[in-house]
Amino acid sequence: MNKFVWPVRVYHEDTDGGGVVYYANYLKFMERARTELLRFYGIEQTLLKQEYNIIFVVRQLTVEYLKPAFFNDLLNVVADTTKQGKVSLTMEHQILRDDEILCSGDVKIASINSITYRPQPLPATVINQMRTKCKS
């Protein structure tokens, strides 16, 4: 099965004085790919918030940094849903330059209410949208 891949170009904003991408900025790249994967599933976070007051927040994060990315690199960011519950999702990411994995990350995301910040189950229609796409 093919995995979802989102291309990301490295700009000056992403690098630090060490000449490489700043360690927190890889998390931005992973989140861009996650957002686009959700969009590919047919899930627009703007609508989730408007219609259900649901926002996603990160609960847990594990990242391995293997090799640095540099200014101007064209990276591929893989996003893959590995677990899918009613109030949480687990996603796996790899960030690649050509065939080389520079960075990998596991991210556990919770579905919460945007006002109370308490867990709120995803609507059944949204879960079904994800299941259908994940299997295909």
Instruction: Point out the residues that are catalytic.
Output: 16
Please say which residue, 2 or 46, places its beta carbon nearer to a copy of itself: 46
Among the listed residues 41, 42, 52, 68, the single contact to a copy of itself using CB under 8 A = 68
State in angstroms the smallest separation of the CB of 123 from a copy of itself. 19
Please say which residue, 71 or 134, places its beta carbon nearer to a copy of itself: 71
Give exposure, 74-102, as e/b (b: 16+ Cβ within 10 Å). ebbbbbbbeeeeeebbbbbbbbbbeeeeb
Please tell me the distance from the alpha carbon of residue 17 to that of residue 19, in angstroms, as a whole number. 5
Among the listed residues 41, 90, 96, 114, the single contact to a copy of itself using CB under 8 A = 114
**DSSP codes of every residue in 51-120:** HH-EEEEEEEEEEEE-S---TT-EEEEEEEEEEE-SSEEEEEEEEEETTEEEEEEEEEEEEEETTT--B-
Please say which residue, 31 or 130, places its beta carbon nearer to a copy of itself: 31
Is residue 135 part of the contact set for a copy of itself (CB under 8 A)?
A: no
Residues that bind a copy of itself (CB under 8 A): 9, 11-13, 15-20, 22-25, 27-28, 31-32, 35, 44-46, 55, 57-65, 67-68, 70-72, 114, 117
